[in-house]
């Protein structure tokens, strides 16, 4: 299978234009703290006042605000619709695959999906039904190329990786303990760990500039992890784990097996758990690039502290189905998670559907995956061309559902406040994107663009984004893309509305 192939080194940063000269962007821990402080200010500014009805914990939950959540909240009440709401918001901020509804509709309405038996209507094993854990173990053994068959008893199924993050943090950490994470990272993990369990993420900032021959943008190395761990200890924190995403969100980076092995050894040396989130493992759409799961490693450095997450939200474009899985050999962890499982279980009928889907190899290999990859590749090329036409640099990685792009030249000054202002302007122009500080990026000006949507949505999203940038940000010079916009995609430019 494709996943087993070796190869595919680091993909380059595509730079289509020199970045506009500006003061050296901050790349240190200080910058990371600045981004956190802008976020904190945003949260405070918009938080409702204290409620007498709630506990301290209830109040802090109610008052919590984040940028990703704010963008999404505005989108759900004003979604773009071709006929019903053409002035609504285009969502290029949430990492969802909206390209395969037809394929999924066909498969999920097949008669084998409609099955009822008493066990599906009753409470199930809190780790998930045995039949589903068997199918998941077989599925992961095959697609992760595990050297030996994975065991169903080592699988936990919950309603999404979000819940798994929350539950794992609760059982491996005490309140105020910390987990290391390189930045930028999928920012919602902050809430996953903090809201229930009061666990802190300790950031290891990665630089957006490559700093040597063997380096690349946002390059994670063991040296950086060592440094981060040392700093966390100096701050008096108890660090319990490291979180890694492979393929990465938001960088879409795929680590080589050697890199991943070195990270696992770092964790073993320091007695840290490692939670490896492989939720995008099948979302790699260039055959020349291969992904290697941690579950393919012959002999893990520390199997008792290595935990691998996967789910259906990304690879099967089923974020609404709410299914996430964990594979771990650690029995104590499995037992502790089983206690929390009943708060996070998946409905019986959905467990049945997921089992049918995951064991239908013919549909997966011959229909869904090839077509999904073809569509993702086309959507990625479209967005990449649009960014290139605007002279915007981006990380060129053929994986995941988004592109990490460098919009620093559109900032009037290099600050997180300015980045936030730009993000808000996009939102005012009815496009949700995700700005770097929502991912705790240490350099202001990076944005994540999700491309896995219908072509006409992408076109309109890009059109609104480009129109705003062209007319409102004087540092941008794009006569070529102006022409393309006016003649190319059938939307009228109206200066008045900007």
Ligand X SMILES: Cc1ncc(COP(=O)(O)O)c(C=O)c1O
Q: By C-beta, is 280 or 416 nearer to ligand X?
A: 280
DSSP secondary structure of 249-291:
TTT-----HHHHHHHHHHHHHTT-EEEEE-TTTT-B--TTS--
Q: Least distance to ligand X from the beta carbon of 311, Å?
A: 4
Q: Least distance to ligand X from the beta carbon of 357, Å?
A: 15
Q: Least distance to ligand X from the beta carbon of 336, Å?
A: 20
Q: By C-beta, is 245 or 333 nearer to ligand X?
A: 245
| Residue ranges in contact with ligand X by CB under 6 A | 95, 160-162, 186, 245, 249, 277, 279, 311, 313, 319, 324
Q: By C-beta, is 161 or 364 nearer to ligand X?
A: 161
Q: Among 148, 76, 167, which Cα is nearest to 329's?
A: 148
CA distance linking residue 10 with residue 396, whole number of Å:
10
Q: By C-beta, is 74 or 388 nearer to ligand X?
A: 74
In angstroms, how far apart are the furthest CA atoms of the chain?
Answer: 67
Q: By C-beta, is 325 or 443 nearer to ligand X?
A: 325
- The sign of the CA dihedral 212, 215, 219, 220 is negative
CA distance linking residue 317 with residue 375, whole number of Å:
12
Strands (E), 27-177: 90-91, 155-158
Q: Least distance to ligand X from the beta carbon of 162, Å?
A: 3
Q: Least distance to ligand X from the beta carbon of 163, Å?
A: 7
Q: By C-beta, is 39 or 400 nearer to ligand X?
A: 400
Does an H or E element contain 447, and which? strand 446-450
Q: Least distance to ligand X from the beta carbon of 213, Å?
A: 30
Q: Is 408 helix (H, G, I), strand (E, B) or coil?
A: helix
The residue at minimum Cβ distance from ligand X is 160
Q: Is 95 helix (H, G, I), strand (E, B) or coil?
A: coil
Q: How far is CA 250 from the centre of its chain?
A: 6
Q: Least distance to ligand X from the beta carbon of 218, Å?
A: 15
Q: Would you say 240 and 276 are in contact if contact means Cβ atoms under 8 Å apart?
A: no
Q: By C-beta, is 133 or 467 nearer to ligand X?
A: 133
CA distance linking residue 327 with residue 341, whole number of Å:
14
């Amino acid at each position: 299978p494709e996943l087993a192939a070796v190869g595919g080194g680091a993909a380059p940063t595509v730079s289509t234009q020199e970045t506009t000269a500006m003061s050296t962007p901050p790349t240190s821990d200080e910058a990371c703290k600045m981004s956190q402080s802008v976020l904190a200010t945003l949260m405070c500014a918009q938080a409702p006042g204290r409620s007498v009805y709630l506990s301290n914990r209830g109040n802090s939950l109610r008052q919590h605000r984040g940028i990703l959540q704010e963008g999404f909240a505005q989108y759900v009440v004003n979604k773009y619709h071709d006929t019903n709401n053409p002035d609504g918001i285009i969502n290029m901020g949430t990492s969802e695959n909206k390209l395969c509804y037809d394929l999924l509709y066909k498969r999920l309405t097949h008669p084998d999906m409609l099955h009822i038996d008493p066990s599906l209507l009753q409470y199930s094993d809190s780790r998930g039904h045995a039949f589903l854990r068997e199918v998941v173990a077989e599925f992961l053994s095959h697609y992760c190329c595990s050297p030996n068959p994975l065991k169903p008893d080592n699988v936990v199924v919950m309603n999404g990786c979000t819940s798994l993050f929350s539950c794992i943090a609760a059982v491996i950490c005490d309140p105020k303990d910390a987990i290391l994470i390189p930045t930028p990272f999928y920012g919602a993990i902050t809430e996953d760990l903090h809201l229930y369990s009061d666990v802190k993420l300790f950031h290891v900032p990665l630089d957006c500039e490559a700093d040597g021959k063997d380096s690349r943008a946002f390059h994670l190395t063991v040296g950086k992890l060592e440094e981060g761990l040392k700093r966390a200890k100096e701050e008096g924190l108890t660090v319990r784990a490291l979180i890694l995403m492979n393929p990465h969100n938001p960088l879409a980076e795929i680590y080589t097996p050697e890199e991943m092995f070195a990270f696992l050894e770092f964790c073993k040396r320091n007695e840290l758990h490692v939670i490896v989130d492989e939720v995008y493992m099948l979302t790699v759409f260039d055959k020349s690039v291969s992904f290697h799961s941690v579950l393919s490693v012959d002999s893990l450095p520390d199997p008792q502290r290595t935990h691998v997450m996967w789910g259906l939200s990304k690879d099967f474009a089923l974020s609404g189905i709410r299914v996430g899985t964990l594979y771990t050999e650690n029995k104590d962890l499995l037992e502790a998670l089983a206690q929390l499982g009943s708060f996070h279980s998946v409905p019986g009928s959905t467990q049945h559907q997921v089992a049918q889907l995951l064991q239908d190899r013919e549909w997966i290999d011959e229909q869904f995956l090839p077509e999904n990859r073809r569509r993702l590749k086309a959507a990625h090329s479209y967005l990449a061309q649009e960014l290139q036409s605007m002279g915007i640099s981006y990380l060129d990685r053929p994986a995941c559902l988004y592109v990490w792009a460098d919009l620093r030249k559109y900032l009037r000054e290099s600050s997180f406040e300015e980045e936030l202002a730009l993000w808000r302007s996009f939102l005012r122009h009815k496009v949700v994107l995700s700005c770097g500080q929502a991912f705790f990026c240490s350099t202001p000006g990076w944005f994540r663009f999700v491309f896995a949507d219908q072509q006409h949505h992408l076109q309109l999203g890009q059109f609104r984004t480009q129109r705003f940038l062209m007319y409102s940000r004087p540092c941008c010079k794009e006569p070529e893309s102006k022409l393309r916009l006016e003649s190319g995609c059938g939307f009228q430019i109206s200066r008045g509305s900007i």
